[in-house]
A and B are shown apart, each in its own frame.
Chain A
Amino acid sequence: MTRDNGKAYILPAAALLFFVTIYPIAYVIYLSLHRRLLIFDISRFVGFDNYLFLLKDDRFWNALKNTAYFTASSVSLELIIGISIALLLNGNFRFKGAARAVVLIPWAIPTVVSARMWEWICNADFGILNYLLGVKINWLGSPIWAINVAVLTDVWKTTPFVAILLMAGLQVIPQDLYQAAKIDGAGNWSIFRRITLPLLMPVILVVLIFRTLDAFRVFDAVYVLTGGGPANTTETLSIYAYKVLFQTLQFGYGSTLSVVVFLCTGSISIFYIRLLSRGVK
């Protein structure tokens, strides 16, 4: 009996994968080389015209800038606050279980709901924030504050996720290392810097990959909060791509934007994976 090499058995799954991932990606790249207005039956091959237009498109660069700022601030804030919360929750105290559950609540609330909630909190006329601070700042209508409020909403929502993951990472660090360090007379900060942080590095990198990619592709939180903000000051790449694709139905240029987002997230992933593999070595 000859042994078949199993290629035929992989075919169904490979076909499925092809149709669900490779084919759409290739089709989007194909669309991005066209001027395509689906509903008017306009379809013209324009080569790299869309990409050239994108390079000159101020709105794209603005969206990229907003996305970069949003990603950088929210990820760093989440990391710092997340590590602090993880360290605090790692210890043994009476209501440990309840505290960990409560910390997870922002993560459990659907993003759309929490964005709406923050929209009302920051309302210039009736919001709690202005009431508590005693000021009358138009948070969501100010070009400077709107994006920071969006960052705040995202940090509030996903810091628990970071904290829980880091807490899991902290649990794995053997306790004798801490005891040895205490015997050697190391202070808290040295313990943190020399023992905790290096051993936490792989977990931190994994958390960074997740959060950076998620923050880069953020859509719902910002869209519900400001809809792109006063004069596009909170418009991220995903929101811009959505508006072009689904509100103006320009499938050619929308695909170009999607390809660029795909390339950016791809580069970020490669960068982090390189870091991760180097770290493991």
Chain B
Amino acid sequence: MKYTVCKDRLLSYKKQLNHGGHRGKSTTFNVKDSLISLCLSVSVVNEFRFLGLYSLIAAFLFTCGCSDTGKEVPGPVTLVFKHGKIAGDPELFRGLLDRFERENPGIRVKDETLPASTDEQHQFYVINLEGRSSDFDVLSMDVIWVPEFARAGWLRDLSRLWPGEEREEFFPGPVRAVTFEGKAYAVPWYIDAGLLYYRKDLLKKYGRKPPVTWPELVESAKYITQRENDVYGFIWQGKQYEGLVCNVLEYIWSNGGDVLDDGKVVINSPKNIEALRFMRDMIEEYKITPPLVTTAIEEPTRHIFGSGRAVFMRNWPYAWNIFEREGSPVRGKIGVAPLPYFSGGVSASTLGGWQLGVNRYSRRPDAAEKLIKFLTSPESQKTLAMTVGYKPTRKELYLDKELMREQPFMTGLYDIFMKARPRPVSPYYMMMTQVMQPEFSAVISGIKTPEEALASAQKLMGHILEAEE
């Protein structure tokens, strides 16, 4: 075997060394000696020789992974803007950043894209911000991350940049989502909210109006599916993932219930139980929703509705443009409406969208703040709305004549966006959603009753929030 030959050679070399060093020289530490002893020791530990090799490699890689404390780059200021994939043509967004560079000579903006999966983006931010990286200055965050990042101390307080009167110009939902302990840690960039899509042509054929309450929706769906072939009643996203929580909250809120009230967990309530039971009943009892929703996310449901095989769908606004494209089977046959509510409640939509914040470890916070102010300005938001379809967070743009002409669908969503509610605004939201997702999924799949699931969720979420004590 190779290693025994190596070992013999090394042992003989070691003997030579000892003889050599015997001539009165004190044993000095030199590289050759230590390298040989390292090789020897590795060869001696022969059962774990692969472990030794892998440990060495691991040790090397470990030291390579340590980031170096950056040095100040002389010359023009370069900002790094980290974000997920921008929809549409990247050239259009680059054009916007070029305009910023022209208006602010001396600042250059480098924008870097992160992986498409929001989970991976979250992991990237957590790893890098916990490691106090200064590699990026401005970051784009999902609406549910802001309290968590703020509590962890990774975001710069933007209250000075974005004072109270300015906040009034934005939708209330996003403003609530970016506020933590009274201070604003991010500025809302673009907004998203859940909608009800319906087939105008089918409703007209059977003399029905778009439903305003959930019982009305059930009735219309049942009536139409009994008379039409190969059409589902109502499809939504029910897979065990974040989108499920978005869906369920819309039912809970429209029944007057809630998850967190003033920092306390109130998820186990009769109104919530009712809402969850209704969701399960849609599959099991009224049979207007097919069981396949338990593995469905946005795109599969968009596919089914877009090929004309459903009467109603709950989804985000992005689907509209796809339905209205050339060659779409449902072109011109779709309408949108606010989501229905239970009697005695109000329509509720779950808030989505992305916010811009400044890395607290950024070395150019003032320039970063300028970039955020630019990107969230009315002009930039209007440009983004016209080019890539990002829905603005500023209320005034929804009355802008040009935008109303070019994007009537977008401006028509004003009421829904006004009523969009953020998911529980808490630094512990990521942990809470990990509790809620399986519990809600268990109810929808019929494994647990709503009572059992919500009782369990209450217990687990209470335990999570105890961490603060």
Contact = CB atoms under 8 A, between A and B. Distances in A.
The answer to whether A and B assemble together is yes
Interface of A: 1, 6, 8-14, 16-17, 19-20, 35, 37-42, 53, 58-59, 124-125, 138, 140-143, 227-233, 235, 243-244, 246-250
Contacts of A42: 467-468
Interface of B: 18, 22, 34, 37-38, 40-42, 44-45, 48, 51-52, 55-56, 58-59, 119, 123, 126, 130, 148, 151-153, 239-241, 291-292, 294-295, 300, 304, 427, 430-431, 434, 438-439, 441-442, 444-448, 456, 460, 463, 467-468
Contacts of A13: 38, 41-42, 44-45, 48, 52
A280 to B, nearest CB: 18
B41 A247 contact: no
Contacts of A16: 52, 55-56, 59
B52 A231 contact: no
A233 B442 CA distance: 9
B34 to A, nearest CB: 8
B292 A125 contact: yes
Contacts, number: 124
Contacts of B56: 16
Contacts of B37: 8-9, 12
Given A16-B52, A138-B292, A232 B41 contact: no
23 contacts: A1-B22, A8-B37, A9-B40, A12-B37, A13-B42, A13-B44, A13-B52, A38-B130, A41-B153, A53-B463, A59-B460, A124-B292, A141-B295, A143-B446, A227-B240, A227-B241, A228-B438, A230-B295, A231-B438, A232-B240, A235-B438, A244-B434, A249-B431
Nearest to A248: B431
A10 B44 contact: yes
Nearest to B129: A39
A58 B130 contact: no
Given A16-B56, A17-B48, A232-B442, A248 B434 contact: yes
A10 B467 contact: no
B430 A138 contact: no
A247 B117 CA distance: 13
Given A9-B41, A13-B38, 18 more contacts: A12-B42, A16-B55, A17-B51, A20-B51, A20-B58, A39-B151, A40-B151, A59-B438, A125-B292, A138-B291, A140-B295, A141-B291, A231-B439, A232-B442, A243-B434, A244-B434, A247-B434, A249-B431
Contacts of B448: 231
A150 to B, nearest CB: 14
Name the 9 nearest CB pairs between A and B, nearest first: A231-B442, A141-B294, A141-B295, A231-B441, A39-B152, A13-B41, A248-B431, A232-B438, A16-B55
A20 B62 CA distance: 11
Most B Cβ at <10 Å: residue of A125, A142, A246: A125
Nearest to B463: A53
A15 to B, nearest CB: 9
Contact of A17 (B34, B55, B126, B441): B55
A55 B248 CA distance: 30
Given A17-B55, A59-B438, A40 B44 contact: no
Contacts of B239: 141, 227, 230
A35 B467 contact: yes
Contact of A10 (B45, B240, B439): B45
B295 A124 contact: yes
Contacts of B456: 58
Contacts of A228: 240, 438
Contacts of A20: 51, 55, 58-59
Contacts of B151: 39-40
Given A38-B130, A58-B456, A231-B441, A246 B291 contact: no
A230 B126 contact: no
B441 A230 contact: yes
Nearest to B51: A17
A53 B464 CA distance: 12
Contact of B304 (A11, A12, A58, A125): A125
A143 B438 CA distance: 12
A1 B240 contact: no
A33 B20 CA distance: 54
A9 B447 CA distance: 60
Contact of B431 (A1, A11, A230, A250): A250
Contacts of A6: 44
Contacts of A19: 55, 59
Nearest to B43: A13
Contacts of A124: 292, 295
Contacts of A125: 292, 300, 304
Contacts of B427: 40
A246 B447 contact: no
A232 B456 CA distance: 14
